[in-house]
Amino acid sequence: MTAVPTEWTVYLSVVILSIGLYGIFTRRSMIRILLGVELILGAATLNFIVFSMSVLNGDVVGHILTLFVIALAAAETIIGLILLIMLYKDVGSIDISLASDVKAEEQDENKLTRGEKEDG
């Protein structure tokens, strides 16, 4: 017998999920929050694979879903990092609590239009 009990893996992914949730709730650095999201996605893929191999007895549907999740995670990481770079350019920090200050950009635009008027 080489198979481990299925519930071990489910317990493991619950633990990873709660670690990721804790990271998302407590961190203010945007990179840490992204890493927390990736941890949760890793827990989900682990579940897909183990259910595919044990509960579905070798059906490849879990593998296909895992490949889709990996592709989606790559897309999500790209968008997240671009938003991170934009936030850094805007406010000079990657602290997510500063991102709620949406007035900053409006003020910039007002300043810009005023400046154009003064020039004209």
Partner 1 sequence: MVNVYAIDYIIMAVLIIISAIMALEAREIVYAIFFFDLFTIGIGGMFLLFNAGYVAMFQLAVYAGAVAVTVLFAVMLTRRTATGKEIISFASIRNKIASLVLALSIAALMLILVSRYDWATPAGDYPDPLGGGAIFTSIVTNYVVPFLGISLILAASLVGSVALLREERSKKEVASK
Interface with partner 1 (CB under 8 A), residue total 75
* Among the listed residues 45, 22, 46, the one whose alpha carbon sits nearest the alpha carbon of residue 35: 22
104 binding partner 1? (CB under 8 A):
no
* Beta carbon nearer to partner 1, 28 or 104: 28
Neighbour-count burial of 5, counting CB atoms closer than 10 A to its CB (0-12 exposed, 13-18 middle, 19+ buried): exposed
91 binding partner 1? (CB under 8 A):
no
94 binding partner 1? (CB under 8 A):
yes
Task: Tell me how far, at minimum, the Cβ of 43 lies from partner 1, in Å.
Answer: 9
Specify the length of the chain in residues. 120
Q: Which of 3, 100, 106, 117 binds partner 1 (CB under 8 A)?
A: 3
Task: Tell me how far, at minimum, the Cβ of 120 lies from partner 1, in Å.
Answer: 12
6 binding partner 1? (CB under 8 A):
yes
11 binding partner 1? (CB under 8 A):
yes
Contacts 24+ apart (CB under 8 A), 31-40: 31/84, 31/94, 33/96, 34/77, 34/80, 34/81, 34/84, 37/76, 37/80, 38/73, 38/77, 40/16
* Residues 34-73 within binding reach of partner 1 (CB under 8 A): 34-36, 38-39, 42, 45-46, 49-50, 52-55, 57-61, 63-64, 66-68, 70-73
- If one counts every other C-beta atom within 10 angstroms of the C-beta of residue 52, the result is 19
